[in-house]
Every structure is written in C-alpha cells, then in structure tokens.
C-alpha cells in the first residue's frame, strides 16, 4: 500500500470532521458570516506566506533536478495562483496591504507554521513533503466535496473559493505532492513511516485548529 493511502487512513476521522465544521458548512450553504471569512482570509494569507517557504526549502533539500523544478513551480503556483483567490476576495472585502501588515498572526497560525518549518528544516525531504501534504490535500477534498453540493459552487460569494480548490489546476498540484511522497517513500522503513505518520496527524490536527480559530475569529 502506498504511503499516502496509509497516511490518509490514519487521519480519516480528523478529515471527516472538517466537512461537519461550522465554518466549512457555512461556506457550503452560504450562511457563514462575512466577518468570519474576512478574518480567515487575512490569517490564511499570512499562513501561506510561511507555507510557501517550505516549498522553497524543498528546492534546497532536493537532489533530483525534476523535483527541484516541481517545488519551484509550486512556489509560483501558490504565490501567483492560490493567493490570487485571496487577493480577489481581499479586494471585494476592502482588505488592503496595510491590513495584512498590521494584523498579528493568531497563536494557532504561528504554532502551525513554526511546526512545519521546524520539521522541514530539521528533517529530510520525506519529512518536509509530509508536512506540506495535509493542508494541500485536505483543501482539495473539501473543495471537491463542496462543489458537489447543489448550488454551493454557484454561490455569488463563496463559489469562487469552492471552485478554486476543486479546480483541475489545484488537483494537479495536489497529485504532484502526493506522487512525490509516494516516490520518496517506496522503500521506507516502519520506523520512518511512524515518524511521517506523527507529522501527518499533527498537521491534520493543526488544520482542525485553524478552522476553529477562523470560526471563532481567534477568540
């Protein structure tokens, strides 16, 4: 069994809880308060500025040229692709550059990104790739699931968010990181798998904390 499937199985209960989270359900049915989404957008933008650094570190830690190119492309995809969703919403919500600069990252945000950066700096390429996976993969699955709900993807405000994470481009990016992990871990030891499993569970729990933080606006 591929490492990615075994990791997914280890967090399925956690990930299933995302679909029932009031923040996600609010996006799905359009009932989420705009001020909560605005808070989330700013925090997630701050998060992505650190998240993308881990992909950049992947270039440094890679030995294969094709992997270097893959990580480099992902840096561009996030900075000029995924974050464009945020920039569009920020324009609609009246969020300016100064608002981002003057906003403190929440403690959950800081803890999550510091954990990923620590794992990636101290560990090897398998650790780094695993630390990235929960965010990328779970967002794609959330986007895909919400896109199948009648009317959700057509919502005048939240539809763009759903369609962005359910898009073919985002699916390809997610598949790249999954395939890379499976390639890197073809001959993985049980001891190493346990370490990757711990990283994957921790980052999945951080994702749940992030949704909680967004819904409560950091309170």
Per annotation, catalytic residue among 82, 108, 173, 207: 207
- The pLDDT of residue 50 is 96
Identified catalytic residue from 64, 135, 156, 168: 135
Lowest mean pLDDT: which of 73-82, 110-119, 152-161?
Answer: 73-82
pLDDT band at 6 (very low <50, low <70, confident <90, very high): very high
Task: Tell me the pLDDT band of 83, cut-offs 50, 70 and 90.
Answer: confident
Does 219 score more than 90 pLDDT?
Answer: no
> Is 108 part of the annotated catalytic residue set?
no
Residues 134-155 as b/e (b if ≥16 CB within 10 A, e otherwise) read bbbbbbbbbbbbbbeeeebbeb
Has 135 been annotated as catalytic? yes
**What is the predicted pLDDT for the residue at 218?**
73
Question: Mean of the per-residue pLDDT values for the chain?
Answer: 96
Domains present along the chain, CATH in parentheses: 3-216 (1.20.910.10)
pLDDT of residue 59: 97
The pTM score is 0.95
């Amino acid at each position: 069994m591929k490492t990615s499937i075994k990791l997914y199985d280890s967090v399925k209960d956690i990930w299933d809880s995302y679909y029932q989270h009031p923040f996600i359900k609010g996006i799905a049915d359009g009932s989420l308060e705009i001020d909560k989404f605005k808070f989330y957008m700013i925090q997630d933008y701050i998060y992505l500025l650190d998240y993308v650094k881990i992909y950049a570190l992947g270039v440094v830690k890679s030995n294969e040229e094709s992997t270097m190119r893959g990580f480099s492309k992902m840096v561009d995809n996030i900075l000029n692709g995924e974050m464009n969703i945020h920039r569009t919403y920020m324009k609609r919500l009246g969020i300016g550059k100064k608002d981002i600069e003057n906003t403190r990252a929440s403690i959950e945000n800081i803890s999550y990104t510091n954990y990923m950066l620590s794992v990636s700096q101290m560990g090897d390429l398998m650790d780094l790739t695993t630390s990235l996976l929960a965010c990328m993969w779970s967002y794609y699955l959330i986007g895909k699931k919400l896109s199948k709900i009648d009317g959700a993807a057509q919502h005048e405000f939240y539809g763009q968010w759903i369609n962005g994470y359910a898009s073919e481009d985002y699916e390809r990016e997610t598949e790249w990181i999954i395939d890379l992990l499976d390639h890197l871990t073809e001959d993985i030891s049980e001891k190493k798998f346990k370490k990757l499993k711990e990283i994957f569970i921790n980052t999945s729990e951080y994702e749940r904390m992030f949704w909680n933080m967004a819904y409560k606006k950091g309170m």
